Structure 1
Amino acid sequence: MSSPKQVIVIGAGIIGASIAWHLTKAGARVTVVSTSGAGGVATPNSFAWINASWGNPETYFHLRVRAMAEWTRLAKDLPGLPLAWCGGLCWDLPADRLEAYAAEHSSWGYGIERVGREQAARIEPNLAELPDSALYVAEEGVAEPVATARTLLTDADRRGARIIAGTVGALALSGSKVTGVVISGETITADGVVIAAGTGAPAIAGTAGIKLPIEAPPGLIVHSRPYKKLLNGLVLAERLHMRQTAEGRIIAGSDFGGGDPGENPEATARELFATMKAMLRGVDGLEFDFHTVGYRPTPIDGFPIVSRAEGVGGLYLAVTHSGITLAPAIGLFAAREILDGERDALLAPYALSRFAQ
């Protein structure tokens, strides 16, 4: 009987945590290496919207829908997962584009409902400004990002994973094969290495001669102090997107990825918070707490990179924006490919090799 495969996962954000959990559950001996602890760098600054919305090509839409289904599966395996299917109310597009999006995604099977002002008021009664028409998707949701990553890593640890703090300075190589990672001059060996380090991924991959075409646009999100329940779900309005977290904070950005922080992020945050308050009723006691500026690891064509690194054995790459939506599917598919060589058809368009063509 062969011994379990040893895999190092670099990164403890939502993608790294999901891959580590799925690998451990499948029987691998996993070591997670993280500089910043559970949640990583980008994950704590995420709006955390789980969806298959917006202008997606159909192939990407199907990956996102599958990921939404995998969230339901994952919640059954981890009953304490902070996941809520709260629904999303959207009117953040001109009327013609909103209708085109609704028609297209409805034809693909997405559960979009067209609602008027009265229905919108029933869905979100504390909105001070209501649209004449909007779209509502009841099956959209949120996963509180840091708590979710921590839950995955805690259970991976319970199943035998090792989680260590450290900064990977380089990948260890033997010829054209990755054999481990170098941390503070010490090499930790493994049968395979997964880079799921978000914006830190290009520098690590570069030590093996791999170029990752990644951008890292900043996104500012404001956070209120915890407050009484005002919002039932996601609100995607013309001027900002907002939701209320499990602990009662209302978080908002000029879009779900966060907006441009500008030259003075604090002033931008205060202006955004004022806009948010103006859109809500019952906010007399609602107070600004802090803002975050997250840097989203975004491949230059906007779509995930989830694949082996061609020409470099033992190395797997998993870098994407929309990490919250895609995390459970990427974790499942990556574990299968790493351990069994089985690549899911839904990942076919998202190999790194597409950038060489």
Structure 2
Amino acid sequence: MNTAKEVIVIGAGIIGASIAWHLTRAGARVTVIADSAAGGVATPNSFAWINASWGNPEPYFRLRTRAMGEWTRLARQLPSIPLSWCGGLCWDLPADKLESYATEHLSWGYGIRRVGRDDAARIEPNLAELPDFALHVAAEGVAEPVAATRALLADAERHGARIISSTVTALAGTGGKISGVDISHGVVAADEVVIAAGAGSQHVAATVGVNLPIETPPGLIVHSRPYQKLLNGLVLAERLHMRQTAEGRIIAGSDFGGADPGMDPQVTVRELFAAMRAMLRGSEGLELDFHTVGYRPTPIDGFPIIGRADGMDSLYVAVMHSGITLAPAVGLFAAREILDGERDPLLAPYGLSRFAQ
């Protein structure tokens, strides 16, 4: 390993923070450049569900379950990360699809348990509406996203990383070789540049002719004021996903990605909050505090882009929607690939070159 390698990470969200932390711990000299505070734009607006749930092919399931394991490893190394394996109770699919999901994922080794109304009441006793049939996965969890990002960046900085608050206006280099980035103060040089800027990644990559085929759909999530404990874990009900944060806020969206804000976001906020209160016993004193609208960096095929850009060995890209779940594995794998040239087999389907086909 070349411990003297200079690496710039563009972006201070959970993905950029994890990559910077893993690179620093592996001996690289790291500079994080971001035009926003720790957490970036998408991370603070995340539902922060850590899972390997339904709707994905087995290779992506394997990457996500590996990432769940890496969260445990990361929390052991950095105990200040707020991580909770609180479990998830799910009935947001028709019964036949819920059963198909359970059968498939159980065959893959996912710890799903089928539950009825009585079990659901024991898991979440404050639910006003209980399902006749649901699935419970005790191994699913949450990481408070901004606090986790801050913990990673602070520890990286303690171990020598630099953090620069600035806008990257362009990548610098010639002949397919990226040599750094242009910022308002001039050029910052590096041996390798990592683009992990979420929704802003597309613009940065385009400055050297690299096309990142991503979309940035908005997602609205409502946040209550801190309140007494009403929820034990994640609740994924039909048209309403919710959880209670470490500080006692109940957050909710029409799904984990957030609601479509619609033509009048305030109407959407009021409807979501009313649905959330109606779903919970003991919520009479629950008050709305604020809402967020996050723009989720989502590659057009729904799967992550992780790896070097074709023809540019010194440019690495890490852009995905499932940033909270994948962050520790992506950080670990990216650091190994950047410093040692070892690409983990779990990343094989997720290179940028797949879009050239």
The answer to whether TM tops 0.5 is yes
Alignment match, 2:234: 234
Query: What is the Cα-based RMSD across aligned positions, in Å?
Result: 0.9
Q: Distance in 1 between matches of 2:71 and 2:91?
A: 25
For 1:4-43, what aligned pairs fall within 5 Å after superposition?
Answer: 4-43=4-43
Residues 269, 2 of structure 1: alpha-carbon distance in 2 compared, 3 angstrom cutoff? closer
* Partner residue in 2 for 1:184: 184
Question: Does the alignment pair 1:109 with 2:109?
Answer: yes
3-state secondary structure, aligned to 2:115: strand
Deviations 1:122-142 (A, max 9, x none): 000000000001000000000
What residue is the counterpart of 2:324 in the other structure?
A: 324
Cα deviation for residue 283 of structure 1 reads 0.7
What amino acid is aligned across from residue 237 of structure 2 in structure 1?
A
Residue of structure 1 equivalent to 2:207? 207
Query: In 2, Cα distance between the equivalents of 1:313 and 1:174?
Result: 13
Match for residue 85 of structure 1? Answer: 85
> Deviation at 1:80?
1.2
Q: Cα deviation per residue 1:293-348 (whole Å; 9 max; x = unaligned)?
A: 10000000000000100112310000000100000000000000000000000000
Q: Which residue of 2 aligns with 1:55?
A: 55
Distance across 1 between alignment mates of 2:352 and 2:319: 10
Secondary structure of the residue aligned to 1:157 is helix
**What residue identity is the alignment partner of 1:271?**
E
Match of 1:158 in 2: 158
AA paired with 1:177? K
Tell me, in whole angstroms, the C-alpha distance in 1 between the residues paired with 2:241 and 2:2: 51
Segments of structure 2 that go 5 or more residues without pairing to the other structure are none
2:279 maps to a residue whose letter is: M
Q: For residue 2 of structure 1, report the CA deviation from its aligned partner.
A: 6.0
After superposition, what is the alpha-carbon deviation per residue over 1:39-81, rounded to whole angstroms, capped at 9, x for unaligned?
Answer: 0000000000000001110000000000000000001100111
Letter in 2 for 1:106: L
TM-score by length of structure 2 reads: 0.99
Corresponding pairs, count: 357
Partner of 2:143: 143
Q: Which amino acid aligns with 2:286?
A: L
Structure 2 residue identity aligned to 1:187: V
Counterpart amino acid of residue 151 in structure 1: A
Q: SS in structure 1 opposite 2:181?
A: strand
**Structure 1: which 5+ runs fail to align?**
none
Separation (CA, whole Å) in 1 of partners of 2:278 and 2:239: 11
C-alpha contact (below 8 Å) 2:92/2:236 kept by paired residues? yes
SS at match of 1:289: strand
Q: CA deviation at 1:185?
A: 5.5
> 1:108 and 1:79, CA in 2 relative to 1: closer, same or farther beyond 3 A?
same
The answer to whether the 8 A contact 1:102-1:112 is kept is yes
Shift of 1:37: 1.4
C-alpha separation in 1, matches of 2:32 and 2:185: 18
Report if aligned partners of 1:266, 1:291 keep a CA contact under 8 Å in 2: no
Q: Report the Cα distance in structure 2 between the residues aligned to 1:130 and 1:339, rounded to whole angstroms.
A: 50
CA 355–251 in structure 1, closer or farther in 2 if over 3 Å, else same:
same
**Does the CA contact (< 8 Å) of 1:171 and 1:205 recur in 2?**
yes
> Does the aligned pair in 1 maintain the 2:2–2:339 contact within 8 Å?
no
State the match for 2:279 in structure 1.
279
For 2:104 and 2:175, locate their aligned partners in 1 and report how far apart those are by CA, in whole Å.
Answer: 49
CA shift for structure 1 position 188:
0.3
What TM-score, normalized by structure 1, do the two folds share?
Answer: 0.99
Contact 2:173/2:179 (<8 A) preserved: yes
Which range is displaced more, 210-219 or 185-194? Answer: 185-194
Secondary structure, in 3 states, of the residue corresponding to 2:220? strand
Q: Secondary structure at the match of 1:202?
A: helix
Amino acid at match of 1:146: V
Aligned to 1:124: 124
Once residues 331 and 185 of structure 1 are traced to their aligned partners in structure 2, the CA distance between those partners, rounded to angstroms, is 28
Cα 1:2–1:302 change in 2 (3 A) is closer
DSSP 3-state at the match of 2:164: strand
